[in-house]
Amino acid sequence: MCGITGISEGSEVQTVERMMASLRHRGPDGGGLWWNEHYTLGHKRLSIIDLEGGAQPMGDSEGRSRIVFNGEIYNYPNLRKELGEDRFSTQSDTEVILHLYLEDPIGHVERLDGMFAYAIVEGNQVTLTRDPLGIKPLYVGRRDDGSFVFASEIEAALKACDNVQEFPPGHLYSSITGMARYYDLNPGPPYVADVETAKRGISERLDEAVSKRLIADVPVGVFLSGGLDSSLTAAFARRHKHPLDSFSVGTAESPDREYAWQVAEFLGTRHHEYIYTVKEAIEALPEVIRYLESFDCALVRSAIPNFFLARLARGYVKVALSGEGSDELFAGYDYLKGLSPDALEEELIYITRSLHNTNLQRCDRMSMAHGLEVRVPFLDVKLVDWAFRIPVSLKLSAPNGTEKWILRKVAEDILPESIVWRKKSKFAIGAGLGEALAQFAEKEISDAQFSREKEIGDGVFLRSKEELMYYRIFREQYPADKLLPLIGRSRSV
């Protein structure tokens, strides 16, 4: 995992260095610069694979091309074998992308299994690509002189350009052929209606997704809140790794604490816990919002415990697995229960497509704030595609509307009943924040202030005093009016 930057002008070293400096938290292990007469590339490295030989920007042996890459390619060992081991001078997954590109500059991306954002320069040409669901971030912009800018985070892009846009997930841009979509979550009618078939398909794909995400040259652990998603992730990880470190956070009154310890003892993980106070959470808000690059109420709420969790985990491991994405795939939110089957299916597709600037943004920013890589097995493309073949009637079961019912049936075989049928609790609530932040905002902001300040753009409104509190902090750190189009808005608040 890393931070990448670049400008489509040669010798822009000072500007790219400023961009890299704002990404140093993403790459505390090293950095590199490269330029020719057409492009300047910068990279901040978090070493995960090939600790000694994976420095970037990386070039091919003939000097034709250079790459800066953020992410992990999980099938890189197999791709190396297909390409021929004798072609490689490093053990890194980065070099695999470069060789694939040289064989097929456009179609190569469809052979990659992983999370990624990268740029490849060849002469006066550039190619940018982002993974199918946008697990890894990428932003682009055009300067007044016409030059092109890209970076892993908004703040870095703003160092070089006022006009910043998000690069869309599942797309590849070539300066020769333009922008093209290579992946679209557009499922057809569900057809896996048999419960046992659906269970088996989920279990097999989740086990494979977790297994390949344990590959690393550094220690790997797992986030464990004691909820269904993190507990399943930990259970599958424990099949393949021992000892396994698990991590949880909460206030002293957090309902998650008991469940996390229960799962840890059941699975036999080495469990680590951090207990924080509401006062700490409030004091952390400016730092959390600066890293998060958002003021969305639901994101900020969950980002605070996520921030403490990543900080805790980074003291023991360099990579952690998370249960992110399960609620979107398997109908885990309360607000979904009132929807008709057709509307529910459409909503699940929408919120999964939107993850790149909602929960995935929070997951990426809070972990990378501490130089921790987080991997999300539920968002493996094979599992995502399978999940949308399962009818919503198996996800949100009638008549009681049990959320993630089919996933609970998978868990019945491998987790305690108290965990399997535990009611869904949002991370911020389970981690002990509850309504504390909303109550704090109520004291800080009057009704008149909220009425006066709630409209922040043409037809864009803040939804609560709590969100206004976050927006005020965001506005102090970023040009808020310019960045409104980049701010994802969570449907479940």
Q: Pick from 123, 124, 126, 10: which is nearest to 62 by CA? A: 123
Per-residue DSSP letter, 145 = T
Confidence of residue 27 (pLDDT cuts 50, 70, 90): very high
The H or E element that residue 465 is part of is helix 465-477
Distance CA 139, CA 166 (A): 4
Q: What is the reported pLDDT for 98?
A: 96
- At residue 492 the predicted structure's pLDDT band, cuts being 50, 70 and 90, is confident
Q: Of the given ranges (51-55, 106-110, 421-425, 473-477), which has the lowest mean pLDDT?
A: 421-425
What is the β-pairing status of strands 319-321 and 373-375? Answer: parallel
Tell me which CATH homologous superfamily contains domain 2-181: Aminohydrolase, N-terminal nucleophile (Ntn) domain (3.60.20.10)
164 contacts 478 by C-beta, under 8 angstroms: no
Confidence category of residue 69, pLDDT binned at 50, 70, 90? very high
pLDDT for the residue numbered 431: 67
* 470-480 pLDDT per residue, tens: 999 999 999 99
Is a pLDDT exceeding 70 seen at residue 221?
Answer: yes
Which pTM does this prediction carry?
0.96
Dig out the tokens for 81 from the structure.
Answer: 């074998």
Q: Is 342 exposed, middle or buried (0-12, 13-18, 19+ CB in 10 A)?
A: exposed
Q: Which two tokens stand for residue 56?
A: 């970037």
Per-residue pLDDT tens for 224-248?
A: 999 999 999 999 999 999 999 999 9
Percent of the chain with pLDDT over 90: 90
Please provide the distance, in angstroms rounded to a whole number, between the alpha carbons at the two ends of the chain.
30
Q: What is the pLDDT of residue 67?
A: 98
104-141: burial string, b at 16+ Cβ within 10 Å, e else: ebeebbebbbbbbbbbbbbeeebbbbbbbbbbbbbbbb
Which two three-digit tokens encode residue 143?
């300067």
**Residues 150, 140 contacting (CB under 8 angstroms):** yes
With H, G, I as helix, E, B as strand and everything else as coil, classify residue 286: helix
The 8-class DSSP code of residue 295 comes to: -
Quote the pLDDT of residue 493.
66
Task: For 30-40, write each residue's pLDDT tens digit.
Answer: 999 999 999 99
What is the set of active-site residues?
Answer: 2
Give me the pLDDT at residue 435, please. 87
> CA dist 191 to 105, 194, 195, 391, Å?
35, 9, 11, 7
Q: How far does Cα 75 stand from its chain's mean position?
A: 19
| pLDDT value of position 295 | 98
Q: What's residue 235's pLDDT? A: 98
Nearest by Cα to 416 from 237, 267, 250: 267
Alpha-carbon distance of 322 to 455, in angstroms, equals 35
Amino acid residing at 47: S
Residue 424 has pLDDT above 90, yes or no: no
Cα–chain center distance at 318: 16
User: Which residue intervals of the chain bear CATH 3.60.20.10?
Assistant: 2-181
Instruction: Report the pLDDT averaged over residues 407-417.
Output: 96
More confident residue, 229 or 492: 229
Range from 20-24, 53-57, 60-64, 232-236 carrying the lowest mean pLDDT? 60-64
Two structure tokens written together for 340: 């008709």
Percentage of the chain modeled with pLDDT above 70 = 98
At 271-299, the pLDDT tens digits run 999 999 999 999 999 999 999 999 999 99
The average confidence (pLDDT) of the chain is 95
Return the DSSP state at 402.
B
Q: Where in the chain is the domain with CATH 3.40.50.620?
A: 195-434
* Residue 215: φ, ψ to 5°: -70, 120
- Asked if 406 contacts 390 with a C-beta cutoff of 8 angstroms, the reply is yes
Per-residue model confidence as pLDDT tens digits over 148-162: 999 999 999 999 999
Q: Cα Rg for the chain, rounded, in angstroms?
A: 22
Q: According to DSSP H, which parts of 245-296 are helical? A: 256-267, 278-292
The CATH class, in words, for 195-434 is alpha beta
Strand order in the sheet with 30-35: 30-35, 40-45, 2-7, 148-151, 139-142, 164-166
How many Cβ atoms from other residues are within 10 Å of residue 231's Cβ?
29
Q: Are 259 and 226 in contact (CB under 8 A)?
A: yes
Amino acid residing at 232: L
**pLDDT by residue (tens digit) across 180-219?**
999 999 888 888 989 999 999 999 999 999 999 999 999 9
- Per residue in 428-469, pLDDT (tens digit) is 676 678 789 999 999 999 999 999 999 999 889 999 999 999
Q: What is the pLDDT of residues 313-366, one digit of tens each?
A: 999 999 999 999 999 999 999 999 989 999 999 999 999 999 999 999 999 999
Supply φ then ψ for residue 150, to 5 degrees.
Answer: -145, 155
